[in-house]
Chains A and B, each alone.
Chain A
Amino acid sequence: KQEVTQIPAALSVPEGENLVLNCSFTDSAIYNLQWFRQDPGKGLTSLLLIQSSQREQTSGRLNASLDKSSGRSTLYIAASQPGDSATYLCAVMAAGNKLTFGGGTRVLVKP
């Protein structure tokens, strides 16, 4: 059974610092990996999707890498801002078009 882990569960950084969020998964037979953002009381917003054949994906200040063989993905957020404060979730898709989610990392960016 696929298991997805995100460590740390919570992270606090000063504004301007780069954020590094980690995601690990136990079964490397995945189709893709997706990073989401969730604000308190809200739904999930898709940030980046990395297909299993890709090594990284970029969107603005966000960059996500994928190392399928080691079962790891990292989300980098450059020059963090208070508006980046949220919970970040990673999820992997395996057979059956189903996502398995990690527990999330709660990020606080202090002004």
Chain B
Amino acid sequence: DAGITQSPRHKVTETGTPVTLRCHQTENHRYMYWYRQDPGHGLRLIHYSYGVKDTDKGEVSDGYSVSRSKTEDFLLTLESATSSQTSVYFCAISELMQSSYNEQFFGPGTRLTVL
């Protein structure tokens, strides 16, 4: 299994509070991603990173920010959590090898509930 951990694994918070989720990898992969998974919507990309301090928006980036100061860590921040951000959040990693995009490997997920 790819070395990807997410913390915390479960979190309950209140509307309006800031929340930071952490993804940590030990594979030295260049690309890191944050997805959310919701019933009826499937998996959707929030933000991704293609290197240290290089990030870009995904499909559902409103209300989220990210930071990547080290290769191994990718942080997702909800500046002011809302109930619509209740979801399961997955981190993923991948690498670009020999001009072919490689597999994405996923972490175990963080279940976030915003009351």
Contact = CB atoms under 8 A, between A and B. Distances in A.
Interface of A: 31-32, 34, 36, 42-46, 49, 51, 89, 91, 93, 96-99, 101-104
Interface string B15-57: 0000000000000000101000000001111001010000010
Interface majority SS (helix, strand, loop, mixed), chain A: strand
Given A43-B108, A44-B90, A99 B50 contact: no
Nearest to A101: B43
A89 B108 contact: no
Given A42-B108, A43-B107, A43-B109, A101 B42 contact: yes
B42 A97 contact: no
Interface stretch (B65-73, B76-84, B96-104): B96-104
Contacts of A98: 33, 45, 48, 58
- The list of the 3 closest CB pairs from A to B, nearest first, reads A44-B106, A101-B43, A43-B108
A42 B109 CA distance: 7
Interface of B: 31, 33, 42-45, 48, 50, 56, 58, 90, 92, 94, 96, 100-109
Contacts of A102: 42
Contact of A97 (B43, B48, B106, B109): B48
Given A43-B90, A98-B48, A34 B103 contact: yes
A83 B112 CA distance: 28
Contacts, number: 52
B107 A49 contact: no
A84 to B, nearest CB: 19
B61 to A, nearest CB: 12
B91 to A, nearest CB: 9
Contacts of B108: 42-43
A97 B96 contact: yes
A43 B107 CA distance: 6
Nearest to A45: B106
A91 B31 CA distance: 17
A7 to B, nearest CB: 14
